[in-house]
Amino acid sequence: MFLDSSDSIEKFGLDFIFSRNWDPVREEFGALTFIYGTIVSSFLALLISLPISIGVAVFLSEIVHKSVRTSLSFLIEILAAIPSIIYGFWGIFVLAPFMRTTIQPFLQSVFGFLPFFQGTMYGTGLLTASIILAIMITPIITAITRDVLKAIPVSQKEAAYALGATKWEGIKMALLNARSGILGGAVLGLGRAIGETMAVTMVIGNKAQIKASLFEPAYTMASVIANEFAEASGGLQVSSLIEVGLILFGVTFIVNSMARLLIYSVTRKA
Amino acid sequence: MHKIISILILTVMFFSCGKKEVAVNKSGAQINGAGATFPYPIYSKWFNEYAKLNKDAKINYQSIGSGGGIKQITEGTVDFGASDSPMSDEEIEKANSKNNNSIIHIPTVIGSVVLIYNMPGTEGNLKLSGDVIAGIYKGVIKKWNDPKIKAENPGINLPDKEIIVCSRTDGSGTTYVFTDYLGKVDPEWKSRIGVAKDVKFPVGQGGKGNEGVTGLVKQLEYSIGYVELVYALQNKLKYAEIKNAEGEYVLPTLESLTLAADNSISEMPDDLRISITNSKGKNSYPISSFTYILIFKDQKDEFKGKTMKAFLEWALTTGESFAQDLGYAPLPKSVSAKALDKVNSIKIQ
């Protein structure tokens, strides 16, 4: 990858990472908008998905009756098996109109003073892409969190209850013990979100720009590669796209190592 | 037990060998092509119909996009390529020198790009001039009730809503035809944004593929987008009448497309590479284009060369009758004669 992107690395140098301009006609390429789109959409997705996943996992492993548990977890796991193109179609035909008519006007009326929720409501855009991603990574994080919770010895729970802990206190203790595993699940989910291409491409709006508003269209690294690679004409464009791939690789690497460090520090404290 | 298993394995091997041999003999005849997505519906129809006439003619076409088609034929990995925009001099030079051959362009059908829009509560067709379209895509015209749009559509009640501009985000022949047209009607477009398969649009959002843009326009109220005619027809979306070079507002029809091609014929060079956007003629539709099959002049494989030649002759004559049903216009007689000459110039070694 490094070799194939050497043309663009030579021509643009570090500017490639800090330039917002992507103009195939003039052969000027910069990846900042794509890096921004990828990171913001993925972290936003994680932010939405994490509380839901943990809630569902706790519900499945601690609260609900066994018979419901199996069928419910099966249903959630089946979400992970849906191809991303289907999520994309669902996103554009069901979620986007719903966002436009219901969720975005609501957000604007309540939080409209924040720059994140201002501007025109398209339905598609950064926020919609994040929600699609959140739905896609929820089953992964849920499954892992549930398994980690299951791995906590029953004796520990019983001990807690024996000491007079309420159900809520018991769950709190379990979550505290499982935190490194939950973080691991979150990282796995984040990795999936960063690399996701089709579903995001279909709803994010594919516009290389950085705007404060989450309603505005954006563009991710994986999407630009998928969109432009097949028809990329000049050698420089191909080379730049490969460099975008290289950066995507780098970002994934950095995010993963940071997560590793986080898990390491959390487990050491325990 | 062991004996039975080994006999079984041997039998399986024997039969699979036999099968393979038969398949190789037949599939040696497989012809591979790749390129534009825009003519894919008619090409696949042609290959199907032609295979009924000539059982040995197995033509496999991958619709990977015009740029991909040019790339593949340049690399020599396919037997023919297909593209909506003719190859540039540079690309031809590269393909010729790499394969020690010369590439020829064979126009097959005429296609058109239409401006689809989603404006609930309006009746009749919107009328747009090239100037206004360029204004919308440059972000200068922001609202539907802009005086410039109003001036062209006195009968339509235009809402005070922001225009949501949709374009193709992946490189495509459709974008090339569209920007080629805008470049001709608006000099500022040409110098500031450019004419290419993939340009940086100042405003709006992008969908992937014709179906992506169609989906966006269908879902987003008060949006506008550009797609190939067939997608507008299939999805029953409204599309605008476009003002042509003579000041008339026209819809893409069989006649208006054929006329656009006919009116450009006098300017057609010997290699048949020509853009027919914004062409002269009172009734010609201005955003249209030939789509081409790209093939090398010297065919090294006798069977493939002969089959392709026969196929192209059939396509340019009998095959043209399938065009209209699929939203394309057949070539005018004058052009198809020139195209047939090109087919006849293919040499089989």
Number of domains in chain A: 1
B98-118 pLDDT, tens per residue? Answer: 989 999 999 999 989 999 999
Selected residues 219-248 of chain B with any CB under 8 Å from a CB in chain A: 219-220
A217 interface with B at CB cutoff 8 Å: yes
Determine what percent of chain B is predicted with pLDDT higher than 70: 92
Note down the domain range covering A147.
6-267
Extended strands (E) in chain A: 22-23, 28-29
B55 and B187 inside one domain: no
What confidence category does residue B11 fall into, taking pLDDT thresholds of 50, 70 and 90? low
> Does the pLDDT at position B214 exceed 50?
yes
Predicted pLDDT at A131: 95
Least CA distance to B223: which residue of chain A?
A122
Higher pLDDT, A265 or B287: B287
B248 and B127 inside one domain: yes
Predicted pLDDT at B29: 64
B202 and B77 inside one domain: no
> Does the pLDDT at position B283 exceed 60?
yes
C-alpha torsion A71→A73→A75→A78, nearest 10:
-130
Shortest alpha-carbon distance between residue B272 and chain A (Å)? 22
B198 interface with A at CB cutoff 8 Å: yes
Determine what percent of chain B is predicted with pLDDT higher than 90: 45
- Out of A105-119, B176-190, B301-315, least confident range: A105-119
**CATH number of the domain where residue A233 is located:** 1.10.3720.10
B127-137 pLDDT, tens per residue? Answer: 999 999 999 99
- State how far the alpha carbon of B22 is from the alpha carbons of B17, B164, B344, in Å: 9, 57, 33
Is residue A156 assigned to a domain?
yes
B232 and B137 inside one domain: yes
Shortest alpha-carbon distance between residue B41 and chain A (Å)? 20
Is A133 in a helix, a strand, or coil? helix
Distance separating alpha carbons of residues B252 and B265, to the nearest angstrom: 19
Shortest alpha-carbon distance between residue A101 and chain B (Å)? 10
B40-65 pLDDT, tens per residue? Answer: 889 999 999 999 988 888 899 988 88
B91 and B101 inside one domain: yes
Note down the domain range covering B212.
112-267
What confidence category does residue A80 fall into, taking pLDDT thresholds of 50, 70 and 90? confident
| Beta-carbon count within 10 A of B312 CB | 24
Shortest alpha-carbon distance between residue A55 and chain B (Å)? 33
- Taking CB atoms and an 8 Å limit, are A232 and B67 in contact across chains? yes
B142-172 pLDDT, tens per residue? Answer: 999 999 999 999 888 889 988 999 999 887 8
How, if at all, do strands B223-228 and B103-118 pair? antiparallel
Predicted pLDDT at B20: 39
What confidence category does residue B22 fall into, taking pLDDT thresholds of 50, 70 and 90? very low
Distance separating alpha carbons of residues A146 and A204, to the nearest angstrom: 31
Higher pLDDT, A266 or A195: A195
Distance separating alpha carbons of residues B238 and B124, to the nearest angstrom: 9
A126 interface with B at CB cutoff 8 Å: no
Mean pLDDT value across residues B250-275: 87
- Out of A216-230, B15-29, B117-131, B260-274, least confident range: B15-29
Is residue B3 assigned to a domain?
no
| Nearest CB to A206 within list B66, B169, B197 | B169
Number of domains in chain B: 2
ipTM at complex level: 0.77
Shortest alpha-carbon distance between residue B146 and chain A (Å)? 18
How many interchain CB pairs under 8 A, A with B?
93
B142 and B223 inside one domain: yes
B34 and B89 inside one domain: yes
Distance separating alpha carbons of residues A248 and A270, to the nearest angstrom: 33
Predicted pLDDT at B17: 47
Least CA distance to B91: which residue of chain A?
A233
Is residue A168 assigned to a domain?
yes
- Nearest to residue A223, comparing CAs of A88, A47, A44? A88
**CATH number of the domain where residue B342 is located:** 3.40.190.10
| Nearest CB to A123 within list B194, B198, B219 | B219
B185 and B310 inside one domain: no
| Nearest CB to A231 within list B65, B194, B200 | B65
Least CA distance to B72: which residue of chain A?
A230
B157 and B252 inside one domain: yes
Is residue B282 assigned to a domain?
no
Mean pLDDT of chain B: 86
- Residues of chain B in contact with residue A207, where contact means CB-CB under 8 angstroms, are 201, 204-206
Instruction: Report which DSSP code applies to A63.
Output: I
Predicted pLDDT at B312: 94
- Residues of chain A in contact with residue B194, where contact means CB-CB under 8 angstroms, are 25-26
Higher pLDDT, B301 or A270: B301
> Does the pLDDT at position A51 exceed 80?
yes
B210 and B227 inside one domain: yes
Amino acid at A162: A
Is residue B280 assigned to a domain?
no
B256-265 pLDDT, tens per residue? Answer: 888 888 888 8
B319-331 burial, b at 16+ Cβ within 10 Å, e below that, comes to bbebbeebbbbbb
Q: Are B167 and B134 in contact (CB under 8 A)?
A: no
B219 and B294 inside one domain: no
Dump the DSSP string for A75-106: HHHHHHTS-HHHHHHHIIIIIHHHIIIIIHHH
- Out of B28-32, B207-211, B226-230, least confident range: B28-32
B116 and B247 inside one domain: yes
Shortest alpha-carbon distance between residue B127 and chain A (Å)? 24
Is residue A1 assigned to a domain?
no
What confidence category does residue A164 fall into, taking pLDDT thresholds of 50, 70 and 90? confident
Distance separating alpha carbons of residues A33 and A18, to the nearest angstrom: 9
Predicted pLDDT at B148: 93
Least CA distance to B209: which residue of chain A?
A227
